[in-house]
Amino acid sequence: MLDLNYLHYNNKKHFVFIINPISGTNRRISFKELIQKEFKEYSFEIHITERPQHASEIASRYANQEDINVIGVGGDGTINEIAQALVNTNTRMGIIPNGSGNGFAGHLLKNSTRNEAIQILKNNRYALCDTLLINNNLCCNTSGIGLSAFVAYKFDTIGKRGLLSYVKLGLSTFYQFPTFNLTVDDIDYKDKLLLEITNSSQLGNKAFVSPDASVQDGNAELVFLKKPSVFEVPSLIYDVFSGSFKRNKLAYHDKKHSSKIYLEKENHLHIDGEYKGLVREVELKVLKQSLQFIC
């Protein structure tokens, strides 16, 4: 993971907190009380989301208001909804991570604890970060085709949150999920288990699939993975969680600022962990330094 550059001082003092009550496993009341305690010396307001895209609706009220910091309390999906409203505006956003993975927050906040994240919000620094467009849908962290998207689909259906549920789903579908063929910018790739399009270094939970990724270089990283044998799984898992995934012989990495992807057959797609259905084509564009993020 590369260090952030171009940090700026943030003199905005009013905080708008948007809490996703179903993100992660913690109850929302603890976050309301935590915010009221930790930000009692600041000007702030608290909103609770009630439905999909509600966070985006709330955040849109504050777009291009220079004296506002919009803070999501949730995971990558919450960040995505808020960023939809704030991308390419001069309103800054931040995060108190409370998702199942927290990949984008993990990258930008360097896997800080909740209390450390709160202190970061008070420190008033921000960076200009890239975002991605995937089939004209905003992506902040990662988008995936194949296994990771299928797991996201199953994760939505079981009604349980948290890392353990996600891991169980991944293991139960790992060997049953078929490989697929695709073409990326006129180059053919065969028998892939997944293609992950990454803006940051990690999927979440310190799983580093693009350990050298930068959210400020104007590029996304395309990560192709072959299906491992049962004997290759331990080293694959080790490389993902030790930050050495790039050396794994099953993985291939490429950097793109834009790309067109064609699948031989329909396959599953996720964006920031949210399932988007079956697709045959995926178009990638990088929106360079399009989001002001407190970090």
**294 inside domain:** no
In tens, the pLDDT along 201-231 reads 998 888 899 999 999 999 999 999 999 998 9
- Domain that includes residue 74, residue range: 8-130
Note whether 119 and 245 are same-domain residues: no
Is residue 241 over pLDDT 60? yes
Is residue 1 over pLDDT 60? no
Q: 107 Cβ partners below 8 Å, 6+ apart?
A: 1, 141, 200, 201, 202, 213, 215
Residue 23 confidence (pLDDT)? 77
- The string of DSSP letters for 206-271 reads TEESSTT--SSSS-EEEEEEEPPPTTTHHHHHHHHHHT-GGG-TTEEEEEESEEEEEEEEEEEEEE
pLDDT confidence of 86, banded at 50, 70, 90? Answer: very high
Is residue 25 over pLDDT 60? no
Note whether 276 and 149 are same-domain residues: yes
Choosing from 83, 107, 130, the residue where a domain stops is 130
**79 inside domain:** yes
**109 inside domain:** yes
Is residue 103 over pLDDT 90? no
pLDDT confidence of 28, banded at 50, 70, 90? Answer: very low
| pTM of the predicted protein model | 0.92
Q: 28-38 and 114-123 are packed helices; what angle lies between their axes, rounded to 10 degrees?
A: 40
Note whether 141 and 284 are same-domain residues: yes
Residue 195 confidence (pLDDT)? 98
Interatomic CA distance for residues 123 and 120, integer angstroms: 5
In tens, the pLDDT along 168-180 reads 776 778 788 999 9
For tokens 């505006």, what's the residue?
89
Residue 162 confidence (pLDDT)? 58
pLDDT confidence of 13, banded at 50, 70, 90? Answer: confident
Note whether 195 and 94 are same-domain residues: no
**32 inside domain:** yes
Note whether 179 and 236 are same-domain residues: yes
Domain total for the chain?
2
In tens, the pLDDT along 110-169 reads 888 888 999 999 987 899 999 999 999 999 999 999 999 998 888 777 666 556 666 677
| Burial label, 30 (beta-carbon count in 10 A; 0-12, 13-18, 19+) | exposed
In tens, the pLDDT along 180-200 reads 999 999 999 999 999 999 999
Is residue 45 over pLDDT 90? yes
Interatomic CA distance for residues 271 and 138, integer angstroms: 8
In tens, the pLDDT along 243-279 reads 999 999 999 999 999 999 999 999 999 999 999 999 9
